[in-house]
Amino acid sequence: MKKDFLWGGALSNVQAEGGYLEDGKGLNVYDNLTVTPEKGIEPQFCKTNIAVDHYHHWQEDIDLMAEMGFKAYRFSIVWSRINPLGDEEEPNEKGLAFYERMVDYCLSKNIEPVVSLVHFDMPLHLMEEYNGFLNKKVIEFYVSHVRHIVNRLKGKVKYYITYNEINLGVFMPELVAGVRLPENMSQEQLFAQLTINLQIAHAKAVLAIKNIDPEAKVGGMIGHTPFYAATCKPEDVLASQFQNQMHNYLALDIMCFGRLPHYFLQFMKNRNINVEYSESEKENIYNASRLLDYIAFSYYQSAITSSFNDIQDINKQEDAILYDKRGYKNPYCPANEWGWQIDANGLRYSLIDFYSRYHKPLFIVENGIGIDEKLINGKVYDDERIIYYQKHITAMKEAIEHDGIDVIGYLAWSPIDFLSSHKEIRKRYGFIYVNRDYKDLKDLKRYRKKSFYWYQKVIHSNGTNL
């Protein structure tokens, strides 16, 4: 492993901060989200007003990360803290100052800050008034938000991520892109136009960052789930190929190659979909692709895909595959309580696959497991988490050392417990336990889990001692 390998962790601030409307923060799409339960799990949704109170505990939390030996910490700057409404011209000074303090504090602890510029935190007003990224005005508001941040943090932050899991905007439009399907629009039309709009936003963000701070390194990010064919039946293999294209490669192909790939153009042609996409926007996308420094991705699990026996029409077959809700179980992979299938080799497979396709440095910016845990006498023995990480880090090391893949760093999800994307505290991801449960906020005290000491040892040995 390289000496400067970036070991660390990542957090989504909107899921951890609380500090609801403090210091001028506005409501955002996550605050407002009505969540649907994950398959088979009785929901226990928490409010976002306190979350795990990271807004008031951030210093203590970063101290604990430093104690683990973090070399890098990825966090997100909550958009509605910088622009409470989103369409105002002036940023909220208190919001900017808060994140600048966080960056300065990380640097003082020799932790490289990795900053995500949007992560489920679009100001609610932009969704309600404009329908989020489906409206191109919102792209301009986003770029202005990016400029405010980079102007402020110039020279301090080296790594930016333009957009958390940009590819999922079309699958979870409300949370990821602040979009609701308009009455007069088909789902396929939304898929096409929103894909393009998000890519324009990403491209303009890359250009803005490089313009303000040419030394900064900018990455595009996807939420990655590799899809395997459910069987070796050729139709299933075709189905998984299509699923991988539209789910995983599409966003990265545009970001890295600077144009819409043929399979996406064909997808639109087959369905007579017209999109708004100007020559200057095409140019932005091309120019940004030349400046992209690395590819970032989250990886939790793999999934499997099959064709639909009863659908003969090819377009309908593809549309059904794209939004397939049949949850298959991979017989070779165990799963956590939420059905997320554990597949460490899928991480190695993804690293090889992306590097062969894009030849760019890769950054694993989320990887971890959600577990329902209890604090007993001040202790949490999370051996299941340790095993998950042992396997995934081993797979990553094989990709680096045996397969020759260029990996910048590994950021575990997550240093501390927080609310899941479904607003659950029960689905815990942290090396650090936060003492609250669904209804009872308790004392919000932080406790080091067993995995805390284990990860500390991993970082200290540069990945040798697993």
Please report, as ranges, the residues that interact with ligand BG6 according to CB under 6 A: 12, 15, 164-165, 223, 298, 366, 370, 420-422, 427
Length of the chain as a residue count: 466
Enter the tokens of residue 68. 């683990």
**Nearest alpha-carbon partner for 114 in 188, 42, 217, 38:** 217
Check: CB of residue 28 under 8 Å from CB of residue 82: no
Select which of 366, 373, 384, 424 is catalytic: 366
Residue 25 vs 119, nearer CB to ligand BG6: 119
The 8-class DSSP code of residue 35 comes to: P
Residue 298 vs 451, nearer CB to ligand BG6: 298
**Nearest alpha-carbon partner for 53 in 435, 448, 439, 451:** 435
Residue number closest to ligand BG6, CB atom: 420
Least separation in angstroms between CB 165 and ligand BG6: 5
User: How many CA atoms are closer than 13 Å to the CA of 44, on its beta-carbon side?
Assistant: 13
Least separation in angstroms between CB 423 and ligand BG6: 9
Residue 197 vs 301, nearer CB to ligand BG6: 301
**Nearest alpha-carbon partner for 297 in 350, 246, 247:** 350
The 8-class DSSP code of residue 154 comes to: T
Least separation in angstroms between CB 42 and ligand BG6: 16
Least separation in angstroms between CB 157 and ligand BG6: 19
Check: CB of residue 261 under 8 Å from CB of residue 253: yes
Residue 164 vs 199, nearer CB to ligand BG6: 164
Distance CA 321, CA 344 (A): 25
| Active-site residue, 373 included | no
Residue 422 vs 448, nearer CB to ligand BG6: 422
3-state SS, 235-291, equals HHHHHHHHHHHHHHHHHHHHHHHCCCCHHHHHHHHHCCCCCCCCHHHHHHHHHHHHH
* Angle in degrees, CA 9, 50, 46, rounded to 5: 90
Check: CB of residue 361 under 8 Å from CB of residue 294: yes
Residue 305 vs 421, nearer CB to ligand BG6: 421
Residue 427 vs 446, nearer CB to ligand BG6: 427
Distance CA 390, CA 398 (A): 12
Least separation in angstroms between CB 419 and ligand BG6: 8
Least separation in angstroms between CB 329 and ligand BG6: 18
End-to-end Cα distance, the chain: 13
The SS3 of residue 159 is strand
Distance CA 284, CA 12 (A): 28
Least separation in angstroms between CB 108 and ligand BG6: 27
Catalytic residues: 366
